[in-house]
Structure 1
């Protein structure tokens, strides 16, 4: 998959590539989009959005699996970032890439995902800029042949391709890297997904990933109902348009279709009929009664458990010893009635 070529002085048209095959997973795409949206909502002015790409490299094939955000400039108040210094930050067009923050995040992700390494970085824009060239030089010192993912937020609506372009440093004659010359060459990439990723993306598209669990279920159900109602509305609009055209004699009537429409309308319930209201009230009462019975069963179960626990902690008084008047009456616990019977027989002798 490739995007349309962008006109930029930093793109080498028809430049030589290193032959990398890039596979892009859905998670980095979602991360970049989420990073951009949160930055736009929080920042009062346009800021640079960058991050690192995590993945695996096998021979000449790179799989981009995950990503994490990076920062430019100081980040006072971030407890997870070490204090920036002149040795850990380098100037980039008046700003600085915090390398200590990058190393800290890299170590944290390495502990959780030991098989993933930094394979490149991402940014946002319509085409590579001079600042992107400087950032790419920084990453080239840490990663051999880093790739550069550019997310275009101003891509035209209705495009059949993703608003993503992946670059690497153009190669000069002899196979040397031209990163210092500020030239990029576009790479073709493919989308690779697993079963778990498809389920996660489907959940995100349905709106079931945000908020608490109960809230997520409610949002997912409402989204499904909204889609179903919208589809029903669109189909009813088509039928209404056809009936209107036939009534206005602008189209020849199709009697089989008209009979199907008539049968469909006849099968619909009359919303104001007494039978419909009675049935609705009956179903509503059944649902409420079921809910009440469920709550009553839960309360009885809790009461039974409480009684069992109370009997364990406070057993009833023992009747083995009947006090000063009865001696061993009843004989419970120590031989029971056998001991009392033998005593009576001895007295009779």
Structure 2
């Protein structure tokens, strides 16, 4: 698995090593597709990677990578080829198997525990691998999945309704405040106009005109 989107492999040695590794395990295990796992060594410059060499990896009985063996081989290669770095690991399979998935789970657990350095490109590759797995057609699984999906949809619908009701309530409150302010502004002006208006009598008579 490569950690970058673009790579250049100009060296035939790792290809020969992987081919020899696969052929030898086929003869030893009498299997057409044995479990093959190894490390890739090379150099990386930005998003360009050169795969220069490789070596086999061993797996313990509990399906864990033998880190002592890995570190020992890395140190040996580092002494002879100081410029080479551990680029990634390789495997040969037509489709992901349970053993491959176990290795991915081990890496994720180590990242969560802080024992391994987080590599976002690798995590994206794992996410894509999980998304490509076939969906189960088990009736019980489908029933639980549909129920959970409907619950999520209902929760999202209720959340949207609550948000809409809150927005509508804010609009109503603003309308009430604006209406109250307009009524308060009109009331004093109408009162002043009433006070400024005096009753007018008929021509030749006073306001409280008498007949005398």
Q: What's the TM-score once normalised by structure 2's chain length?
A: 0.48
Structure number, greater radius of gyration: 2
Higher helix share: 2
Q: What's the TM-score once normalised by structure 1's chain length?
A: 0.31
Higher strand share: 1
